[in-house]
Amino acid sequence: MSAKNKKTSKKETNTPRVILGTTETKLLESDLGNAYRFVLNERKKNSVLEIPGTPTTYVVSIKEEDATHKTKEKARQAGSALASILKRRSISSINISNKLKKTEWFLCFIEGLLLGAYAFRKYKTTKENSLFEKFEHDCDFLNEKDLDELLNIVYATEFARDLVNETPQYLDAVTFANEIKKDIIKCGAKAEILGKKQIESLKMGGLLAVNRGSIHPPTFTILEWKPKNAKNKKPVVLVGKGVVYDTGGLDIKTGGSMATMKCDMAGAAAVAGTTLAIAKNKLPVHIVALIPATDNRPGGNAYAAGDVITMHNGKTVEVLNTDAEGRMILADALSYAQKYNPELVIDIATLTGAAVRAIGDIGIVAMGNVDESCMNELISSGNHVYERIAEMPFWEEYGEMIKSEIADIKNIGGATAGQITAGKFLEHFTMYPWIHLDIAGPAFLDKASHYRPLGGTGVGVRLLYDFIKNKYVTNPTKK
């Protein structure tokens, strides 16, 4: 069930009880009765204990770490561990007795609990265990506005997960754009979907080339949240790769590597989710989101290795591999972003296998032309939400690897540093402060990891929301 339906209130009776604290919390015998000695002996061994001899009672212990962001992550993981138990037990609601000292720890526990309870069940025909959907709490020092903000962020993250987990036979580019628009406009944000004729008039050669093998038309979606009290005079522009299914085109993918390629629009889902979270929480920030979308298939008219494509900004690209399609559609969107005279542009994409080989599925590869302080703010947000950033070198020598003999640039470099040469390709289409994020590793998992589920993770939503809020709302002087 989506986070928007998870109701909260002050603690009530007749539902399972959760006692939440750190491993150092002094529990009273009156809290647990006869189970008190069991907890003293056992609670440090696991983050979640089910107490025998009691009406369903759980003790959740969070280990306090030296670094604040690590303690927050322990709280999320503890929430996720409890969510797993609640799923197995078909428990849909709980009472939380909070003994944590800090609001942020409590909120992180709730975040992990809700994200850990996520499941994509749209196509299930058999009845399964009930999903967790409601909690009550006695946390008197909690500001309910902070909790509402968190619930909206969780909802937006799960919105992105749902999009990534959808099937390719349902989610073509047009359906994808309409699904995004449907939720975005409910929050008061604007959404415009450009069709193929409009894309042709804009001369977006990269997007049109990738789309040539498809039976479905491409789309270019523009989202905008522009409140009257926006703190930034020039907008922040987010660009997300929206390849709704990637076969590789004529350079077709091999074996099982194609099975997860419905996730190749995870960057676009993250951009849509971030915009949704910002609009739902009414952040005073002007945001524009650009989503080029198509599938990449080997149809009879598909673009081919050897083609030279003229892009939206007039630059020419020699195509050496049709499976390097994401950068082609991102490039058109990045050059289109110039019309907004943006303060900052961030693109996010499942762009390269090289990013996965470099850091696995644990973190996000980043690079760009922004100053050190801006990148450090993003890294700080990555630590805060635990969507951590690995900044790559962006030396000019890498740009030499994508020079073409017959066009301005080519769409792949050599056998090494593929995640960086992809960024260098995109740099040719940026004339403003810019950050590139490659989420090829953490966007889609083949095995659940704490509150990151099997399948689409919604990575990027929490990161971008935290970064934008801190940079333009909480600490605007740091700009």
CA-to-CA separations, 271 to 202, 236, 390, 459, in angstroms, rounded: 22, 12, 20, 10
Residues 6+ apart with CB under 8 A from 162: 120, 122, 456
Backbone phi, psi, residue 390, to 5°: -115, 105
Angle at 472 between CA 467 and CA 478, to 5 degrees: 90
Contacts of 443 (CB under 8 A, 6+ apart): 164, 263, 266, 267, 350, 456, 457, 459, 460
Residue with tokens 């790769």: 241
Single-letter amino acid, residue 389:
I
Angle in degrees, CA 148, 153, 155, rounded to 5: 95
First to last CA, the chain: 38
Residue 327 is among the residues annotated as catalytic for this protein: yes
Q: Which of 43, 280, 327, 410 is catalytic?
A: 327
Set 63, 70, 190, 253: catalytic member: 253
Burial of 267 (0-12, 13-18, 19+ CB in 10 A): buried
Q: Is the dihedral of CA 170, 171, 176, 180 positive or negative?
A: positive
- Strand pairing of 444-445 and 455-456? antiparallel
- Catalytic positions: 253, 327
